[in-house]
Amino acid sequence: MKSSDKKVLLEQYRKLIQIRLFEERAAEQYMLGKIRGFLHLYIGEEAIAVGAISALQPQDYLVTHYRDHGHALARGVEPNSIMAELFGKVTGTSKGKGGSMHLFDSSKRLAGGYAIVGGQIPIATGLAFAALKNGKNEIAMCFLGDGALNEGEFHESMNIAALWKLPIIYVCENNQYGMGAPVQDMVANPEIFRIAEAYKMKSVRLDGMDLKEMYTGMTDVVEYTRSGKGPYFVEAVTYRFRGHSMADPVIYRNKKEEDHWKTLDPIPKFKEWIFEVDSTLREEIENIEAEVELSIDASVEYADQSSFPSPEALYEDLYGSSE
- Using pLDDT thresholds of 50, 70 and 90, give the confidence band for residue 322: low
Question: How many alpha carbons fall within 13 Å on the CB side of residue 197?
Answer: 8
Confidence of residue 237 (pLDDT cuts 50, 70, 90): very high
- Please state, rounded to an integer, the average pLDDT across all residues of the chain: 95
**Mean of pLDDT values over 227-242:** 97
CA-nearest of 57, 45, 85 to 244 is 45
Q: What is the pLDDT of residues 178-201, one digit of tens each?
A: 999 999 999 998 899 999 999 999
Tell me whether residue 7 is exposed, middle or buried, using C-beta atoms within 10 angstroms of its C-beta: 0 to 12, 13 to 18, 19 or more: exposed
More confident residue, 40 or 316: 40
Q: Note the pTM of the prediction, 2 decimals.
A: 0.95
Strands (E), 123-255: 140-145, 168-174, 177-178, 181-182, 202-207, 232-237
Query: Which structural domains are found in the chain, ordered by start?
Result: 6-300 (3.40.50.970)
Would you say 83 and 302 are in contact if contact means Cβ atoms under 8 Å apart?
A: yes
Q: What is the pLDDT of residues 268-288, one digit of tens each?
A: 999 999 999 898 999 999 999
pLDDT band at 323 (very low <50, low <70, confident <90, very high): low
Round to whole Å and give the CA distance between 11 and 144: 25
Residue 49 has pLDDT above 80, yes or no: yes
The predicted pLDDT at position 319 comes to 79
Rounded CA separation 102/95 (Å): 11
Tens of pLDDT along 103-132?
999 999 999 999 999 999 999 999 999 999
